[in-house]
Amino acid sequence: MEHNGFYSSDHPSNRHSEGGSNAFATIVIILVVALLALLVVGLFWPNLLGYNSSESYTAVTPTPTAAPLESDGSVLPPAAADTAVPEATPMPAVDSKDREMPNLDGIAPVVPGLSENPIPDIYDAVSPGVVGVLNYQKVAGISGKEIEEIYGSGTGFAVSSEGYILTNAHVVDGASRISVQLYGDDQEREATLIGSDTETDIAVLKIEGVTLQPLKLGDSDQVRVGEYVLAIGNPLSTDELANTITFGIVSATTREVTIDNYTNTYLQTDAAINFGNSGGPLINMSGEVIGVNSAKTITAGYDELGNAVSAEGIGFALPINQVKKIMGILITKGYIERPGIGVTVSTVDEAMAEENGVPGGALVQSVVKGRPADQAGILAGDIIVEANGKEIKTHEELVNIILNCMIGDEIKVKVYRNGDYKELVIQIGNKSEMNFDDIVGGLTPSPVPEIVPAP
């Protein structure tokens, strides 16, 4: 009998159903007990075997470095105002035998065809020629006594079995001592700075007492956009992540980029480049060096709230053909001579000229004390409107005229100053010997609303 959906226990069929439920409940209990047993075993079995879970993970902590080796690691936007070297690079005092150009005897590795993956073979062949570079600088210790500490580290690579190594100038900038760590060797070897050029960011080192495995230098003029490339270096430190390889393509071949106020032409790549990769080789699929990894862009811009928008896959390498020319001069002479007059300049364009009632031209923002422009009577705030009889409309035009001169040449310039024009003669000097931090009058005057020379 059914009462509101309830089945009476007196019904024969109900008694039969009750017996089946007891059997089902027994099975469920057995399964639950079995699962609990498995859980207990899973929790305690490793310890019964002497296993320690804390040993299963190893924390990798990069060695702290001081100030970034690539200024701030970012590519600054072109700064029209600054066209000069902020600090002269002294010629290192080295033995005369080290001024003889060595044999660049790197040999390209034999790699399989591109139908296979040649990267492991390239890495095995090239890695022994890639080194870590350590920059030691003097600091005051706790007791007040001066000590040497690692300021930062970067990468370099051998170009000659005679001990010559290429790296970036910013990797060794300001170093009181430089050491090199070879591939697979914990020992640090003292390195001599053969020459360094801040403007092109190239430095040459030399170590003694060991035969290096040099890398083959390729032809960067033949590089095409889209080619596969490899970057090998020591990101973050020379220890934990030494000889890391990254893979990418050539994104562009002739990027004019301004970094720390110096404009150079770079190869652009999306192969990962990080702090510590500076000075390492960019390698093609033949195992040849086509560039020196030097910088990366880490900021694409800023959003409406002022927050930085990160950029990925934008790295830059100096083309090896350009580097070879600088390297040869640094080895044989120790420094690079460049014509200069000792000024920083920017452009007074038509709009600015009309707004302020002044002529267009190259605005002198600062004058290096005691150098050619200062000796000729140039003042900060002057506008150079003519050079060697040619009208000057932009600061680039003035720079190009100076760069086409030889050291010791004279140029005649016409300058606008406080409503008058003056003609002056400047003798071209060696830009590499000029300290652009040591300027006349201190702060640069503002070109607007009125151009006033510095006192």
Q: Hey, which residues are catalytic here?
A: 170, 201, 278
Long-range pairs, 376-379, Cβ under 8 A, ≥24: 376/341, 376/424, 376/425, 376/426, 376/427, 377/422, 377/424, 378/341, 378/343, 378/413, 378/415, 378/424, 378/426, 379/417, 379/440, 379/441, 379/453, 379/454
Query: Which residues, 6 or more positions from 449, have their beta carbon under 8 angstroms from its beta carbon?
Result: 355, 356
CB atoms within 10 A of CB 102: 17
CA atoms 355, 360, 362, 367: torsion sign: negative
8-state DSSP, 431: G
Query: Which residues, 6 or more positions from 433, have their beta carbon under 8 angstroms from its beta carbon?
Result: 88
Rg for the chain, CA atoms, rounded: 33
8-state DSSP, 70: T
Query: Which residues, 6 or more positions from 79, have their beta carbon under 8 angstroms from its beta carbon?
Result: 258, 261
Using CA atoms, how far apart are residues 219 and 138, in angstroms rounded to an integer? Answer: 39
